[in-house]
Structure 1
Amino acid sequence: MTAVDPRRLPSAFWYLWTAVLINQLGGFVILFLSIYLTQRRGYSVAFAGLVVGIAYGGGGIVGTVLGGAAADRWGRRAVLLTAHLATAVSTVLLGIATGPLAITVAAFGVGAASNVLRPVAAAVIVDVTTPEQRPRAFALQFWAINLGFAVAAIIGSSVPDRHFVTLFVLDAAATLGAGLIIFARVQETRPARVDPAPGRGGGAVRGGGAVRQVLADRTFLVLVALAVLFGLVFMQHNTTMPVSIRQNGLPPATYGWLIALNAALIVGGQLLVPRLARHRDPAHLLAVAVLSMGGGFAVLAVTQQVWGYLLSVLIWTVGEMLHAAIMPTLVGALSPADRRGLYQGVFAQAFPIAALVAPAGGGWVMDHFGAATLWWCCLVLGIAGAAGHLVIGPARRRRLDMLEPSSTTIGVKARGT
């Protein structure tokens, strides 16, 4: 069901948006997990990196794909409700776990269950909105996520170290509250019937056939690969950057306020991005996004003062906003209606894959070669990602030109291409 007025988003979207906001208002755990493990539980930085990267990130990889595929087969609503409940339970278990195995298993559970929500929520947004509404809808979703994290970062920074477990309980409670909104107000949105789209093949393909078709979609997979590259740099903000802050003698609250600044910049500017990006070549915008991300972290190679961290956040937040506004519209344009969940699930793997590699990889570079080398590596990855978007841009435009105009989204295709 979609709204006729392109300026007015449907009520189903707003209920989902409210649930996302509430969930993120309690999103304490992943922000402070590495600090919690090293300070409260006494584990090494290396172990904390493995938990955040391998366990939580690995769980996210499993959750995104299975969640997206399940949403196509069994419906969005059932999967959303199950994921909210599983996330809440896993979060509480992670807060009370003490041994390394129990912590690792619980972190895997949190990563898997919480990351189910991302592709399914994205599929719901595509289900209930028109192509013209989607850039604004995804921008609003990203806005809600960051507003919630801004508040969560401030609250989490103010909780004394001895009360760290309280953050896990509050996180679980917020997740349950979001799930109740889904239960009460969001009905099933999965399309009842699918018409074949030009250039995308026939109707629904079940099971392995659908997966094979996604894996054969090279245009889409290159987009995912470049998103992984972007994520490798971006994920340093919640793994090696807080460690760097502590190593430079800055108080732990500094990290919380930097994350709050990042979210405040997004809250203040994210809704302007779709308008600014309209009719501009997405390849150029994505190249700017990835280069800004790498360049922002490269600032930390020059200075480790507070003002350097502030400047770094300002620069890479620009890249984050551009990336978040453009990528979901591209995925929506490239995915067939009967495989929206699966396409969103495969795409959503980009950040869990980055979360799997970035903490351990970034920590290894920092331990063996120093923080400055790590930040220069971020710049190199940013340059490589920007070049990749510029190279594949023409092929992606040709793919989008095969679709009907109604299948495209505002800002995805540059004017005149």
Structure 2
Amino acid sequence: MREVPRVVWLLAAGVFMNAVVSFTFVYLFVWLTAVRGLPVPEAGLIAGTGGVGLVAGNFTGGWFGDHLGHRRVLLAGSAVSGAGLVLLPALPTVALLPVLLLAQYAAGTVRAANSALVAVSVPEGARRQGFAVLRFASNAGFTVGPPLGALLATRTSYTWLFVADGVGTLLFAGYAARALPAQGVRRTRALRPARADGLWAALRARPSVVVLLATIFVTDTVYRQQYSTLPVWLAGHGIGTGAYGWLIAVNGGVILCLEIPATVALRRRPPLPIIGTGLVLVGAGYAALAGGAHIATAVTMMLLLTAGEILYKTTATAYVADSAPDHLQGRFQSLYAGASVSGTVLAPPLGGALYDTAPGALWPVCAVLAALSGAVLLAAAARWRGGAGEEAGEGVVGQARRRSGWRAGWASAGRSD
């Protein structure tokens, strides 16, 4: 962990503070229906539009970072998102949809900027630890945030949830402006190599990244069924909200305890087999539900799901960073960030439709999709390890960087800031 630069710890501290108050999305639907009195379809449209904005921000935030600077995108996105959340409770219903869309889009660009800043600040070989630190901070904040939000809503009003979230996001922008150094500020396009590849050419030259993104996209839609159809399925079998809350707590607690140690222990191992194994474990988790709706099977499912998440999420983020050309680091991170949250939009409608038409098929389908995704990645890893263009544990770009040596610290981040 000594290889993780100080700037990543500073960024992680800010991410933790921001995550503690980022509870709006947890209670948004309840606020729209119970407080604003909107019918369920209209509330679903507004909340779903916010999810679309979040995914779009993740997919495009890296482009802004590569051209304008990742630190600048973090600051601007946090300011726009925070201001939108503060204003939301005072807006008429007709204005909720566009403002929430903008606020969530800005939040998505911030997420992409956070990942890109870690990618350009941490030397190759230590990026897994860097991303594990960032995920630890985010998960720790999310563990504290929802109970705090529930307390705030019940003791005061839902209005203060948005105000606290918005003000906290604005404070994060102020903290980042002061804590994150801005040395060597340059536009990436000014330092772009004369014959540098564009995004699509770079992806064609890195087929492992394309395969990884596709498998993550599929698996995330499966993974996020735990937040949509799983509680409905449990409730339908007599397992109430309290037990579901404890299941989510198991997920967060195990991640906080084990993700960093696991990342450090496996940091020298080739990444693609680790990621593929993680995806297979996600499938195994949903397969465990074939044993019936019991607390024991639900806990087994969550433990397997969590083990898979620990293996694949940090490792996959670092692998994409290690594979990216310097001038495309932000866009590569955006592609991964977008793929890794696609399930927030796709999981509820797809899983809900399947559960409504064939409830007995939902968990087998989820298990097969995640397991197949993992198998595809494991087969691809074996092929490339066999000499089809990439060494085990490193992408093509990573090999060149390792041979030429890493160009140190935050000065590298400055090229993208």
Q: TM-score, normalised by structure 1?
A: 0.83
Aligned equivalents of 1:93, 1:180: Cα separation in 2 = 19
1:380 matched to 2:368? The reply is: yes
AA matched with 2:358: F
1:14-413 aligned at under 5 Å gives the runs 14-37=9-32, 39-41=34-36, 50-52=45-47, 54-96=48-90, 99=93, 102-158=95-151, 159-160=153-154, 163-188=157-182, 202-203=193-194, 210-214=198-202, 216-217=204-205, 218-248=207-237, 250-370=239-359, 372-394=360-382, 396-397=384-385, 398-399=389-390, 400=394, 402-403=396-397, 405=399, 407=401
Is the Cα–Cα contact under 8 Å of residues 235 and 355 in structure 1 kept in the other structure? Answer: yes
Is the alpha carbon distance of 1:324 and 1:357 closer, same or farther for their aligned partners in structure 2, counting shifts above 3 Å? same
Q: Quick check: 1:227–1:350 contact (8 Å CA) kept in 2? A: yes
Please give the secondary structure, in 1, of the residue aligned with 2:158.
helix
Cα 1:87/1:300, change in 2 over 3 Å: farther
Number of residue-to-residue matches in the alignment: 393
How far 1:26 sits from its partner (Å)?
Answer: 1.3
Task: Provide the identity percentage.
Answer: 26
Mapped to 2, the partners of 1:47 and 1:312 lie a distance apart of 33
Instruction: Give 3-state SS (helix, strand or coil) of 1:132's partner.
Output: coil
Aligned partner of 1:412 in structure 2 is none
Query: What do residues 111-149 of structure 1 show as CA deviations (whole Å, max 9, x unaligned)?
Result: 311111122112211222211321111111111111111
After superposition, the C-alpha distances for 1:209-235 in whole angstroms (9 at most, x for unaligned) are 734334534332221111101211122
Deviations 1:281-327 (A, max 9, x none): 43332222112212223434543344443332222111111112210
Judging changes above 3 Å, is the alpha-carbon distance between structure 1 residues 95 and 262 closer, same or farther for their aligned structure 2 residues?
farther
Deviation at 1:239, TM superposition (A): 2.4
Alignment partners' CA distance in 1, 2:30 and 2:402: 43
Partner of 1:3: none
Structure 1: give runs of 5+ residues left out of the alignment: 1-5, 195-200, 410-417
**Structure 2 letter corresponding to 1:9:** V
Bigger drift between 55-64 and 320-329 goes to 55-64
In structure 2, relative to structure 1, the CA distance for the partners of 1:290 and 1:32 (3 Å cut) is farther
Contact in 1 for aligned 2:67/2:187 (Cα 8 Å)? no
> Does the 8 A contact of 1:139 with 1:325 survive in 2?
yes
SS at match of 1:187: coil
Gaps of 5+ in 2: 404-417
Determine the C-alpha separation between the residues in 2 that align with 1:118 and 1:240. Answer: 26
Cα shift readout 1:191-212 (whole Å, capped 9, x = no counterpart): 8598xxxxxx95575xxx7343
Q: Secondary structure at the match of 1:160?
A: helix
1:389 Cα deviation from its structure 2 partner:
0.6
Matched residues in 2 for 1:252 and 1:92: separation? 30
Change (3 A) 1:385 1:39: farther
Amino acid at match of 1:358: A
Distance 1:45 1:311 in 2: 33
Closer, same or farther in 2 for the Cα pair 1:392/1:333, shift >3 Å? same
The question of whether the paired residues in 1 share the 8 Å contact of 2:324 and 2:397 is answered with: no
- TM-aligned CA distance change 1:234 to 1:44, over 3 Å: farther
Q: Cα RMSD over matched residues?
A: 3.1
The CA distance in 2 between the partners of 1:303 and 1:80, in whole Å, is: 45
Whether 1:9 and 2:9 are equivalent positions in the alignment is: no
Kept in 1, the 8 Å contact 2:60–2:109? The answer is: yes
Give CA-to-partner distance per residue, 1:319-339, whole Å, 9 cap, x none: 111112210221111101111
